[in-house]
Structure 1
Amino acid sequence: MLTRTLQISTADGEADAFAAFPGEGGPHPGVLMYPDGFGIRPVLRDMARELAGHGYYVLVPNPFYRNGPTPVLDLPEHIGEEARPAIFAKLMPMIEAHTTERVLRDADAYLRFLTTQPEVGAGPVAVTGYCIGGLLATRTAAAHPGQVAALAAFHAPVGAAGPDDLQRLTARVHFGHAESDLTPAALGELNQTLDAAGVGYTSEIYPGTVHGFTMSDTDAFDPAALRLHWDRLLPLLAGA
């Protein structure tokens, strides 16, 4: 397994990023992985390595590079409930400033960079994301229907993308929702929108989970739900 720290030129500056990919064979299918709001850190690097071990070139950009390089936030090794108020006091202004226009400008740059790496094969790519990163992934896939063949988002506010974005999706989709984030009624409304758009998808609530269930450095972590996440993600990517 090879890893690199990279710089991606965007319309607004230089975004740092982490990449993981197999050291042999290739070229490999490309995956753009958006982190959660806490950003690139050991758990995200581990997840990128895990996915790369299945034969993918995985690129994890720093969405908040305008606020500084990784680590943008000073985080404890374990993000417990007592640490969250101070972290979110700094995080939320960055999220609120990250407009759809910014997201799409950055997505153009990330996809252009990913698809021109010598280790990445020709053809469409996949996009995945966690928490706010899942919303960024959804907007990226909606804006690049011919280029993104698979989209996965976990414990993400994907409904905030809006019906227009959801109706533009042509990728195969999996949305894995936290039980604390989405009621069954809200899930039904979201899935009705996807049905009406003719999207090929699975969209489900992971039982007993709370927001952030994939992240092993938080109190929200659920090992069984993380395994389910891999059980859903890997077949989706393989079929893209």
Structure 2
Amino acid sequence: MITARVRSGVGEMAGQYIEVKTQTGTSFVAYLAVAEGGRGPGIVLCQEIFGVNAAMRAKADFLAEEGYTVIVPDLFWRTAPRIELGYTEQDFQKAFELYQNFDENLGVEDIRETLNYLKTLASCDADAGLGVVGYCLGGKLAYLAGCRIPEVACAVGYYGVGIEKALDELANVKGRMVLHIAELDKFTPPEARQQILDAAAQYNNVNAYVYEGVDHAFARPNSEHYHKPSARFAHERSVTALHQTIGPVYDLVALWEEHIRHEFDTRDVPATMATMVAEPYVNHIPTLTGGVGYSQLARFYQYHFVHQNPQDMKITSISRTVGSTQVVDEFIMSFTHDSEIDWLLPGVTPTGKYVEIPMLGVIQFRGPKLCHEHIYWDQASVLVQIGLLNPQGLPVAGIETAQKLLDEEMPSNTLMPSWSSSEGKSI
């Protein structure tokens, strides 16, 4: 095993290079990222046409944080072993040359060999099967691996090139397959895209998604076509499919409640941060408060949040929706404004007013750790309740917004001057 720590343009990588020995006696190098916690379901990650470069290693490390043990095999080992290309014009030319001379069938066999090797690792839990994820060239190879290798329980292909030429193989898929397609991808023109969608629609275990207004490589950070909303949406769909087929399964509710227990009950900042990924972020939408990254968020929690909240602050749960990667919490937060609250009312001196506000939290997880929080509330309602905003003549309300959430029988449309004009009219 080769155990060199890797550095690249995106920083130090968490994994290491290893050597995969094939049944025919040959071998090739691969990048290994071990699952958070030391053991998890196995994934073979298939490279773009640029080799096992910094971008692919970063993808492997990211999936390792999700709880997977990931191997990225060097699929160009026969013609250009250990090549790493960037994204300059010269790099693109070299990458396309490698792509044109690449044998896809041999590539699938390399994936098979890597899967066999992956199963032997103590850090891999293969009980529920294995996954294959790929991008660009790797997206096509992930597709072919899902069609040809029975032990692939889940195959995920991002903007795979040429899938429409192998749609007859879809009937052989034993596990789950997810395909992500960019609407503007010139390598998958509209006619080819429609052929893929039509074929996928014939199978319950195959899902194909089109991302509007984005181009090839929309999920590669720092690329010309990177589109963060689409990339995040695709990632959530990918991880959900992987969770449902090969695991792992996490109790997100327990993880979330442990986090808020340290925020509001024990008021323990180190314990709060320990529930989160290495570089988390929190965004309180109305006031733009929170932090991005460990140091900024820990500072925010220590000096502007955890120890600043009023002693009588209380959370009343209204509803909770739990997905595969996130929790959406609806709740009412109540407190007496008897101390300055930087995150909620920055710069406002205590008024002594009692406040109740409806809130919504979208809590994203990466593996067993909280990744980010998006917290929403109606700031106008808060300002009305503490006396800083006169609601007269404005379409805003005070404590009624929380009260109506608890009692839906309260009158609706009281802020609409025209509401009475429709009384008695036919519908």
- Please report the TM-score for the alignment, with normalisation by the length of structure 2: 0.50
Instruction: Write the distance in 1 (CA, Å) between the matches of 2:19 and 2:132.
Output: 19
Alignment correspondent of 1:14: 27
2:52–2:84 CA contact under 8 A, matched in 1: no
Which of 18, 35, 49 is the matching residue for 1:37? Answer: 49
Alignment correspondent of 2:133: 128
Secondary structure of the corresponding residue to residue 66 of structure 1: coil
Which of 155, 161, 166 is the matching residue for 2:159? Answer: 155
**Within 5 A, what are the aligned runs for 1:11-160?**
11=24, 13-22=26-35, 24-26=37-39, 28-70=40-82, 72-75=83-86, 79=87, 83-84=88-89, 86-123=90-127, 124-145=129-150, 147-157=151-161, 159-160=163-164
Instruction: Write the distance in 2 (CA, Å) between the matches of 1:25 and 1:16.
Output: 21
- Please report the TM-score for the alignment, with normalisation by the length of structure 1: 0.86
1:134–1:158 CA contact under 8 A, matched in 2: no
**1:204 equivalenced with 2:216 (yes/no):** no
Could you list the per-position Cα deviations for residues 208-229 of structure 1 after superposition, in whole angstroms to 9, with x for gaps in the alignment?
2111111124212122222112
Could you list the per-position Cα deviations for residues 19-56 of structure 1 after superposition, in whole angstroms to 9, with x for gaps in the alignment?
11235353x11011101111222222222111111211
Report the alpha carbon displacement of residue 101 of structure 1 after superposing the two structures with TM.
Answer: 2.8
Alignment correspondent of 1:221: 226
Could you list the per-position Cα deviations for residues 47-88 of structure 1 after superposition, in whole angstroms to 9, with x for gaps in the alignment?
211111121101111111123332x1443xxx2xxx23x223
Distance 1:131 1:74, change over 3 A: closer
Instruction: Write the distance in 2 (CA, Å) between the matches of 1:129 and 1:161.
Output: 17
Secondary structure of the corresponding residue to residue 111 of structure 1: helix
Report the alpha carbon displacement of residue 179 of structure 1 after superposing the two structures with TM.
Answer: 1.4
Instruction: Write the distance in 1 (CA, Å) between the matches of 2:55 and 2:84.
Output: 15
Decide which structure has greater strand share. Answer: 2
Could you list the per-position Cα deviations for residues 79-118 of structure 1 after superposition, in whole angstroms to 9, with x for gaps in the alignment?
2xxx23x223322232222223312321221111111111
Alignment correspondent of 2:300: none
Could you list the per-position Cα deviations for residues 114-156 of structure 1 after superposition, in whole angstroms to 9, with x for gaps in the alignment?
11111111331011100010111111111112x0111111121
2:137–2:161 CA contact under 8 A, matched in 1: yes
Instruction: Write the distance in 2 (CA, Å) between the matches of 1:203 and 1:74.
Output: 29
1:213–1:222 CA contact under 8 A, matched in 2: yes
Report the alpha carbon displacement of residue 161 of structure 1 after superposing the two structures with TM.
Answer: 5.1
- Using CA pairs under 8 Å that are at least 6 residues apart, name the structure with larger relative contact order, 1 or 2: 1
* Cα-Cα RMSD: 2.2
Secondary structure of the corresponding residue to residue 63 of structure 1: coil
- Which runs of 5 or more structure 1 residues have no equivalent in the other structure? none
2:200–2:208 CA contact under 8 A, matched in 1: no
Which of 161, 164, 172 is the matching residue for 2:168? Answer: 164
Distance 1:134 1:110, change over 3 A: same
- Which runs of 5 or more structure 2 residues have no equivalent in the other structure? 1-12, 246-427
Counterpart amino acid of 2:42?
A: G
Instruction: Write the distance in 1 (CA, Å) between the matches of 2:25 and 2:78.
Output: 8
1:16–1:62 CA contact under 8 A, matched in 2: yes
**Stretch of structure 1 that moved more, 88-97 or 183-192:** 183-192
Distance 1:113 1:160, change over 3 A: farther
Counterpart amino acid of 2:27?
A: E
